[in-house]
Structure 1
Amino acid sequence: MIRRPRRVATAALLALALLALCVAVVVALVQRLSGTTEFVSYDSIATRLHDTEWGDPVVFVVGLIVALVGLSLLVLAAVPGRAVVLPLRPVDGDVAGIERRSLRAALRRSAATVHGIDAARVRLRGKAVRVAAASDRVDVRDLPDTVHAAITDTLERIGPRTVPRVRTRLRSAKVGGSR
């Protein structure tokens, strides 16, 4: 049920680069066949490539760049992205999931409902939830535990398959400081 993101940006960038290269080759060939002035001279490219030797540093640099680009594309294709849909505990054999941003929004709303919290930011990282909250109170001794309890209660109600570890950090108003 864990849905991973597609590598759309990488694929689109590679497709556009290959399309531009193909268009340039076709335009150059059509210009050469029709006898018009070429924007890239086929003869100059062919002469340059023919005169280049395998031991030339340019060949090494271009080969290294192509190898690095290919290796990075392979790594991007092989390494899975961050899950977009997180699985929930099965209920009566039914499989369900929740989008990462929906879970983050629900947890943010839950933290913001705690009395004394002005703003909250929630981050989902692996098997951990980090909540950074801000309060205009000076005395915030009990607020981190209250926010932690609210987040834990929301997680129990939503029911993710693996319950993440919750960390809370609270920023309080400074005494005598300007805001």
Structure 2
Amino acid sequence: MTRRSRRALPATLTALVLLAASVLVAVCAIQLAVGEVPLLPYDSLAGLLHDTTWSARETAVAGGVVTAIGLVLFLAAVVPGRARTAALDQHTAVSVRGLRNALRSAAVVDGVESAAVKVRRRRVRAVVRTRRAVVDGLGDAVRAAVEHRVGEFALARPPQVVVRVKALRSTP
């Protein structure tokens, strides 16, 4: 059960462009039906398109732009997005955001000022900051706490835990 991102941005942009084109065509059609001058002059536009040949530079550029946009939209639809859940078993999952927040709170052990956690498929990377001058053993304590919390989640594929300790510089 792996949920992927929804690709909301490409879908929204495509919908807005198609909506704008549809509104423009509808307004021009209504203006022609009523007998007013259309927003886009149909006769001059049709004449311009009729005079343009297939071998013209403008045609090649327009075709390249449309092809590039189509390729980008196709790749956005086909390439899988970042997983938003981590599998617990075949039928249940936990959100990656919730897992990250739980692991970040577990990484704040005695002596840790702040923690940042990144959760990937195979690895959990924790960067903790401390004001201690001697950081011996702090990384091991954080790793043990995070691994214990990962064990509590009982993930289908437990990730490797990597901890990095950064000592904050104290101002004299």
Q: Shorter chain as normaliser: what TM range? A: over 0.9
Give secondary structure in 2 for the equivalent of 1:117: coil
Letter paired with 2:93: G
Matches within 5 A, 1:4-153: 4-89=4-89, 95-112=91-108, 114-153=109-148
2:171 is matched with which residue?
A: 178
> Which secondary structure state, in structure 2, belongs to the residue aligned with residue 170 of structure 1?
strand
TM-score w.r.t. structure 2 length? 0.94
Identity of aligned residues (%): 37
4+ runs deviating over 6 angstroms: none
- Superposed displacement of residue 13, structure 1: 1.4
Unaligned 5+ runs, structure 2: none
Deviation readout 1:125-169 (Å, 9 max, x if unpaired): 231111111111111121111111111111111111111111111
Deviation at 1:100, TM superposition (A): 0.6
Secondary structure of the residue aligned to 1:19 is: helix
* 1:140 maps to amino acid: V
Structure 1 portions without partners, runs of 5+: none
Give the residue type in structure 2 aligned to 1:75: L
Q: Which amino acid aligns with 2:5?
A: P
Deviation at 1:4, TM superposition (A): 1.6
Q: Which of 146, 153, 158 is matched with 1:163 structurally?
A: 158
SS across alignment from 2:110: coil
Tell me how far apart the structure 2 counterparts of residues 89 and 140 of structure 1 sit (CA, whole Å). 37
Deviation at 1:173, TM superposition (A): 2.5
Question: Cα offset for 1:8?
Answer: 2.2
CA distance in 2, matches of 1:178, 1:17: 54
RMSD over aligned Cα atoms: 1.5
The alpha carbon displacement at 1:49 in A equals: 0.5
Query: What are the superposed Cα offsets for residues 77-103 of structure 1, whole Å, 9 maximum, x if unpaired?
Result: 11111111211146xxxx321001000
Q: Quick one: distance in 2 between partners of 1:6 and 1:173?
A: 39
